[in-house]
């Protein structure tokens, strides 16, 4: 199963390398694009769930790494939840 990584830049300028178990992530994000915080989290949630389910279909079990990645994204996003203008930039898809 082809994995993908995606680098994001949080509203404070910090960057994180993220993991997806599937290339489906490229259907949800565009490199160089900025997303409103809530939109970014929702796209990450949906794409990582789809990726995890693709792993389940192929191997018979969900991808715990995808769910761990989602938990990290959701936790990090909470730091900026009070800023209505917070945006996350997808720096690159790898």
pLDDT tens column, 17-59: 999 999 999 999 999 999 999 999 999 999 999 999 999 999 9
Q: Is the pLDDT of residue 16 over 90?
A: yes
Task: Please give the angle made by the CA atoms of 72, 44 and 36, to the nearest 5 degrees.
Answer: 100
Percent of the chain with pLDDT over 70: 99
Mapped onto helix, strand or coil, the DSSP state of residue 20 is strand
pLDDT at 3: 95
Domains contained in the chain, number = 1
What pTM value is reported for the model? 0.96
pLDDT at 9: 98
DSSP class per residue in 77-94: HHTTTT-TT-EEEEEEE-
Beta bridge mates, 34:
89
Contact 9, 15 (CB under 8 A): yes
Range of the domain at 56: 4-93
């Amino acid at each position: 199963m082809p994995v993908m990584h995606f680098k994001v830049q949080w509203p404070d300028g910090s960057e994180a390398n993220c993991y997806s178990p599937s290339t489906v992530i490229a259907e949800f994000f565009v490199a160089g694009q900025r997303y409103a915080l809530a939109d970014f989290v929702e796209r990450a949630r949906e794409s990582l769930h789809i990726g995890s389910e693709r792993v389940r279909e192929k191997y018979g079990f969900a991808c715990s790494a995808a769910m761990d990645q989602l938990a990290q994204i959701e936790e990090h996003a909470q730091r900026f939840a009070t800023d209505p203008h917070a945006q996350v930039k997808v720096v690159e898809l790898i």
